Amino acid sequence: MSRWALVPLKARQLGKSRLAGLLDAAGRAELVNAMLDQVLSALAAAREIDHVAVVTGEPARLPAGVLALPDAGRGLNAALGDGAAMLQALGASELLIVHADLPGVQAGDIDRFVRAGRPAGMALAADRHGSGTNALLIGGAAGFPVSGFPFAFGPHSLARHLAAARARGLSPALPRIGGLALDIDTPDDLACLTAPAVGTAAFASPSSPLLAQPTASRRTMPCLTAS
């Protein structure tokens, strides 16, 4: 069994535009790069992942050992579908899709998620609101082909992924794992990141430029902590 992780990565100029009111372009770029590094480091250390690929139009941004897959510019779900087909052609029998903006994810979170989903052949990790999908596992024990699932990432994607899974006879595991729940898109997400109970040392240290935003922007939010 060949176990792959696939990470979609937006073009640099498109990253985290909804944070423009809090972070300038340099700050947003620093945040994006730091989160990508965190996700790739977690995947590299995870015991349940053999190989890591990133679908992107900017392969020079990736570290050695990560396979760059081309992004044809047809949107997120098309890029993931193309990437899944390429990895299946390379022998992938299990595929984990995980977003690049999960600042708190650790290798143990990845391993727990994969193990939870493997018996059913699929798992979904909801965002902290319970409506989006931050990670998706397909393949494994159910024998479902890794390129045979219609990815539907975007607003309210969790319900669409659940419906598509059930239409194909799959009953996905839905583990709640804190490190997979907090993605950073909005000012409220950033407030969660910098909250002492949620932020990691790498992202919420006093010296971090991310804490240079106004105090009011760093109010305590109803964030999902690690389970």
pLDDT(206) > 90: no
Task: Output the pLDDT for position 199.
Answer: 44
Q: Residue 143: pLDDT band by 50, 70, 90 thresholds?
A: low
Cα dist. 20→25, 34, 185, 212, 220 in Å? 7, 17, 11, 14, 20
Specify the pLDDT at position 148. 82
Residue 176: exposure state from Cβ atoms within 10 A (0-12, 13-18, ≥19): middle
Q: Who wins on pLDDT, 189 or 70?
A: 70
Whole-number pLDDT of residue 213:
43
pLDDT of 52 > 60? The answer is yes
The predicted pLDDT at position 8 comes to: 97
Please tell me whether residue 200 adopts helix, strand or coil conformation. coil
Residue 159 has pLDDT above 90, yes or no: yes
The pLDDT tens digits of the residues spanning 92-134 come to 999 999 999 999 999 999 999 999 999 999 999 999 999 999 9
Instruction: Give the helix/strand (H/E) hosting 77.
Output: helix 76-89
Q: What is the pLDDT of residue 26?
A: 82
Quick one: pLDDT at residue 193?
76
What tokens were used for 63? 């570290």
- What pTM did the predictor assign? 0.85
Mean pLDDT computed over 149-158: 95
The per-residue pLDDT for 141 is 65
* 210, pLDDT greater than 50: no
